[in-house]
């Protein structure tokens, strides 16, 4: 059933409104990767001087290296580590638009959903990013101790965190935050599994660029399927 929710989301990529948000999300993600990598090169050159040498790149000449093919490959690798927090941020920014597009097509007749105030959304996003980063930093110990299972630990941990965030955002716009949390506890295992489904492609370069928006759409379907009825707006 979770896979069916994802396939429904995938099938809507041709929707003009959906595609617009998808492309905007990809653009912002790529821009963040470029800015992060440019800052990394500039920091290295500032710390060690103009003769800085990096593995695989050689001498750092900042702008030239930023535009090189080698840098493109490194940015793709970097995306594996950045995409989990990026997925959360992008989803928080665009979930209302994505969810509305999904509901207009698959759940017509619903009343208008309640939108989260901008600064409240920013606060929640920053708080969640802090939890996400802290959890992954602590998990580095597990990655080292249980190295053969590191990828599965990554999927399990981030699947839990992303599923929690995705579902809460999708549900809160329809039933309010307290009820969203209650539903999240009730359907914890299903939400966790759906989160893992989102976390797995996040570790695949290029593919991970489309996952934040697909996750927002998938969890909108998941919310409506789990509640099995049209919920009143808060």
pLDDT along the chain (234 residues), means of 10: 87 82 78 75 64 55 52 66 71 81 89 74 72 80 86 90 89 89 93 92 78 88 82 46
pLDDT at position 234 is 45
Task: Classify residue 155: in a domain, yes or no.
Answer: yes
Task: Classify residue 65: in a domain, yes or no.
Answer: no
pLDDT at position 49 is 58
Task: Classify residue 111: in a domain, yes or no.
Answer: yes
Contacts of 73 (CB under 8 A, 6+ apart): none
Contact, 162 vs 87, CB < 8 A?
yes
Count how many domains the chain has. 1
pLDDT at position 230 is 46
Q: 0.85 cut: is pTM over it?
A: no
Domain that holds residue 9: 2-14+81-227
């Amino acid at each position: 059933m979770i896979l069916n929710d994802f396939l429904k989301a995938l099938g809507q990529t041709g929707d003009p409104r959906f595609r617009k948000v998808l492309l905007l999300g990809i653009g912002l993600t790529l821009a963040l990767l470029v800015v992060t990598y440019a800052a990394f090169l500039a920091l290295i050159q500032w710390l060690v001087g103009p003769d800085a040498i990096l593995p695989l790149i050689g001498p750092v000449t900042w702008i030239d290296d930023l535009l090189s093919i080698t840098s493109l490959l490194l940015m793709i690798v970097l995306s594996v580590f950045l995409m989990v927090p990026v997925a959360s941020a992008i989803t928080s920014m665009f979930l209302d638009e994505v969810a509305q597009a999904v509901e207009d097509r698959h759940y017509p007749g619903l009343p208008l959903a309640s939108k989260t105030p901008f600064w409240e959304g920013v606060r929640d996003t920053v708080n969640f990013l802090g939890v996400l980063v802290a959890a992954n930093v602590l998990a580095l110990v597990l990655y080292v101790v249980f190295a053969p299972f590191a990828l599965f630990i990554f999927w399990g941990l981030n699947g839990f965190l992303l599923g929690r965030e995705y579902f809460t955002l999708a549900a809160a716009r329809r039933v309010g935050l307290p009820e969203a949390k209650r539903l999240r506890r009730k359907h914890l295992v299903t939400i966790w599994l759906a989160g893992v489904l989102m976390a797995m492609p996040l570790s695949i370069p290029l593919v991970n660029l489309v996952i934040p928006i697909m996750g927002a759409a998938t969890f909108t379907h998941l919310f409506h399927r789990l509640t099995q009825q049209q919920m009143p707006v808060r």
